[in-house]
Amino acid sequence: MSVPEARLVLLRHGETTWSRQRRHTSRTDLPLTPAGEAQARAAAPVLKSLDLRDPLVFTSPRLRARQTAELAGLAPARIDDDLVEWDYGEYEGITTAQIRESVPGWTVWTHPVPGGETAEQVGARADRALSRAEPILAERDVVFVGHGHFSRVLIARWAEFPVREGRRFALSTGALSVLGFDHDARSIWGHNLTARTEPLEEGTR
């Protein structure tokens, strides 16, 4: 397959109060901020420019993802529980800087998450989601609406990298990545695409 024939598009949800504050957000079900709603709407023309083929849309069940899908013009969307964010366990609601006060050098990619998911568990979810999407790509494009860290895991696993290599794919709120094929090899065709110019929100959730 080649890029005109098959694309898997990842859309990260728009800004929430916690993502703006760089607080880890998984199970906490926050709505979008007004800025996040604007980011979600701004994704619509980017999606339109991709000229997707009758896309089948899947979304995380979290409110911030569902709102993003609707505002980006991706309704109706099917709920997929595998698209939820990495479970941060005891680190839910706190920032990387706060965690590093007791665990120097901590990142979700390289260190344990007490009470949360392991990299292996998150990778298994990503692989399940990708294995369901790939057969669909023969007929139509697929869009996943979800979260920052989990979308980066999806990118890493699509490229056949270990989960930890998701650290190399910073993804802003409201941004898209485009995955596909080149001469039958899984490829990354576009990353961190937005309709606006702003700094990357490294470290946000």
* H helical segments located in 61-202: 63-71, 96-99, 119-136, 148-158
- CA-based nearest residue to 160, from 135, 185, 178, 140: 185
**70 catalytic residue (yes or no):** no
- CA-based nearest residue to 186, from 159, 164, 168: 159
**13 catalytic residue (yes or no):** yes
Angle in degrees, CA 71, 73, 79, rounded to 5: 85
Other beta carbons less than 10 A from residue 39's beta carbon: 26
**Coil, strand or helix: which one is 186?**
strand
Catalytic residue among 85, 92, 117, 201: 85
Cis check for the bond before 76: say yes or no (omega within 30 of 0). yes
How big, in percent rounded to 5, are the helix, strand and coil portions of the chain? 35, 15, 50
Catalytic residue among 13, 24, 147, 149: 13
Amino acid at 148: G
Would you say how long the chain is, in residues?
Answer: 205
- Residues marked active site are found at 13, 85
